[in-house]
Structure 1
Amino acid sequence: MEYPEPGSDRSVLDAGPPPPAGPSPSRFPTPSLPRANRVVLPSAAPAPPRAAAQVPPPLPAHVRASAESQPSAGPAEPPPAPPSPAEPALPARRSQRGGSGRLWQVAVGGAAVLALLALCGLGAAALLAERDRTPQATPTAPAEPTEPAQAETQALDSRDTDPAPLTAKELFPGRQLVVADGEPAYRVLKTQSSASCAVAATGEVADLLVRLGCTQVVRGTLRTPDDDHLVTTGLFNLIDRANAERARDRVRLLLDERQGRFRGMAANDDSAAIATAPARVGWQVRGHYLAYAVVVRSDGEAIRSGDTKAREILFDMIELHLNRGVLERRADGGTAGQPTDGGADDTGTQDGDD
């Protein structure tokens, strides 16, 4: 290769004008430099390339504005040096924003605490109000007895509260006895009131009634509407309910053991069967009274076990007439009423000879 002479402007290859002075251009593209009018913060500015000596880096916006506002009388002051990485300078707005954020957190926390205290106060107030509404146990004066309570003291449980003696007219006011509306009447054949309860019973049954304080018996003999049956029914007047119940329970055993019986009362020769024929017997307690009835066939024949007519007569006499009729009127006439005893528990029946 031939070298050019000194002072010659020809290149070795004679390919055109000589290359410009300075370093030869790189075969790789040079990254574009930031525009002069683009604001780049010091912390985000890219590192200058190696050819920084040829193109100076742009000044910060505030420094450039300060430089442009200075008069051109004297030389411009050099820009301030960027802050060192060890002590980065935070903008003023950011520091103010951090302070206001902490104040906001304090304010929110205080509001939450106040709201919690308010809820606790409301709960305590509700509990106090509920306790005030709850009635307190305070001693009170005994309530005055009401009319039902006063009536219970005048029950038929004793002769002390029911001292009036029974009468035959009270049990059998007429010659006809109607036990229910629309039903045919029983004919009353004979009535009796006696201070000796033994006249209406025999054997151990009579002795039992006397021992338990029976002082009166009122009874009557009636004929059924169809003339097929005769019945003697009445009330034994004992001291109190307890004795009447003992008599009721003991009578059952005595009748089963054939140690006595209730006695039927004949009115005439046509009714003689009531005192001698086999009978069906029933009894029941209300208050200090023992109600009873003795039923026989008018022809003197034994009552069959499946004879429902005899049971109807017992119910008519004991439950409908004596209990719901006579004793209920007595309770309403000045002494308090007592509930009717159950027929199954307080009423006894017996088949066989009376």
Structure 2
Amino acid sequence: MLVLLALFGLTAATLLDRRQSTDPAAAPDPTVQTTRGTEASDLDSRDTDQAPLTAREVFPGSTLAVGESRAGYNVLRTHSSASCPVAATGEMADLLVRLGCNQVVRATLRAPDEEYLVTAGLFNLTDRSSAERARERIRQILDERQGRFNGLPVGDETEGIATAPARVGWQVRGHYLAYAVVARTDGTTIRSGDTKVREILFDLLELHLNRGVLDRRAAGGIANQPTAGPTEGAGDQNGSTQD
């Protein structure tokens, strides 16, 4: 059944059936625009933004303070890999490889209220065009149940991020694809219209990864020109066995 969501202007995807995962390893304000500019920038290609991401750059501390309340997300684990398929399954993993993804940096965090777990991160693609193609294809892959983003468990108490019903959001800026997978800590299904999940997706995708990490990268000498605003998507995914 197609589930249409209204997460800060994000495009919804279908609800997927969750099978046990074996992977070890939107804003409260609906007026947020999905695209805030068209100006080209150094972030639009790895040719002009050559320095690889690092876990320290993307998740610099043990606590991540974002949002109006500045409440802290507890960073439980960070992970960086030159193999993008480690963070996805099936057609999602194949898509990332085809579009030139050469790096993923991600972390698993516990939300301030401790009721939700999040795996969020950045995929490093070849250029803006590749990232946009990935964004457009993700929805179809989720709809057809051909792949998903992997949650990154840290231990027994965090297995829900890999196995529980999850809400997923994604966003493109330049040659980066940002994503976040949100699940309840107790493993129960996320209710339709859960405003807390909307806040978490906005905090991690927009406030931290876009306005924080990528703004700093664009302004800090690695890539030193203003960049176009992100384009976004969101939907639901349930767990699947890793291919």
TM-score, normalisation: structure 2: 0.80
Residue 69 of structure 1 is matched in structure 2 by none
Residue 199 of structure 2 is matched in structure 1 by 312
306-315 vs 199-208, which moves further:
306-315
Residue 169 of structure 1 is matched in structure 2 by 56
Cα deviation, 1:98-152, whole Å, max 9, x if unaligned, reads xxxxxxxxxxxxxxxxxxxxxxxxxxxxxxxxxxxxxxxxxxxxxxxxxxxxxx7
Which one of the candidate residues 219, 227, 233 is aligned to 2:120?
A: 233
In structure 2, give the amino acid aligned to 1:328.
Answer: D
In structure 2, give the amino acid aligned to 1:337.
Answer: P
RMSD over aligned Cα, in angstroms?
Answer: 1.2
3-state DSSP class of the match of 1:234?
strand
The answer to whether the 8 Å contact 2:40/2:228 transfers is no
Matched, 1:290 2:162: no
In structure 1, give the amino acid aligned to 2:102.
Answer: T
3-state DSSP class of the match of 1:239?
coil
Residue 88 of structure 2 is matched in structure 1 by 201
**C-alpha separation in 2, matches of 1:192 and 1:170:** 12
Residue 220 of structure 2 is matched in structure 1 by 333
**C-alpha separation in 2, matches of 1:293 and 1:201:** 12
Offset at residue 201 of structure 1 (A) = 0.2
The answer to whether the 8 Å contact 2:180/2:205 transfers is yes
Higher helix share: 1
The answer to whether the 8 Å contact 1:305/1:351 transfers is no
Matched, 1:351 2:215: no
* Structure with greater contact order relative to length (CA < 8 Å, sep ≥ 6): 2
Give the total of aligned pairs.
199
**C-alpha separation in 1, matches of 2:237 and 2:102:** 28
**C-alpha separation in 1, matches of 2:40 and 2:107:** 31
- Listed as ranges, the matches of 1:112-261 within 5 Å are 155-180=42-67, 182-261=69-148
3-state DSSP class of the match of 1:337?
coil
The answer to whether the 8 Å contact 1:232/1:265 transfers is yes
**C-alpha separation in 1, matches of 2:41 and 2:49:** 7
Matched, 1:264 2:151: yes
The answer to whether the 8 Å contact 1:185/1:225 transfers is yes
**C-alpha separation in 1, matches of 2:67 and 2:167:** 22
Cα deviation, 1:148-199, whole Å, max 9, x if unaligned, reads xxxx775200000000000000011110000136421000000000000000
The answer to whether the 8 Å contact 1:232/1:264 transfers is yes
**C-alpha separation in 2, matches of 1:300 and 1:182:** 26
The answer to whether the 8 Å contact 1:302/1:352 transfers is no
The answer to whether the 8 Å contact 1:189/1:222 transfers is yes
Change (3 A) 1:161 1:153: farther
In structure 2, give the amino acid aligned to 1:183.
Answer: R
The answer to whether the 8 Å contact 2:41/2:227 transfers is no
The answer to whether the 8 Å contact 1:154/1:162 transfers is no
Residue 28 of structure 2 is matched in structure 1 by none
In structure 2, give the amino acid aligned to 1:347.
Answer: E
**C-alpha separation in 1, matches of 2:156 and 2:55:** 22
Change (3 A) 1:274 1:303: same
Offset at residue 337 of structure 1 (A) = 2.3
**C-alpha separation in 2, matches of 1:313 and 1:154:** 28
Higher strand share: 2
Which one of the candidate residues 158, 163, 173 is aligned to 1:276?
A: 163
3-state DSSP class of the match of 2:76?
strand
Offset at residue 352 of structure 1 (A) = 3.9
- Larger-gyration structure (1/2): 1
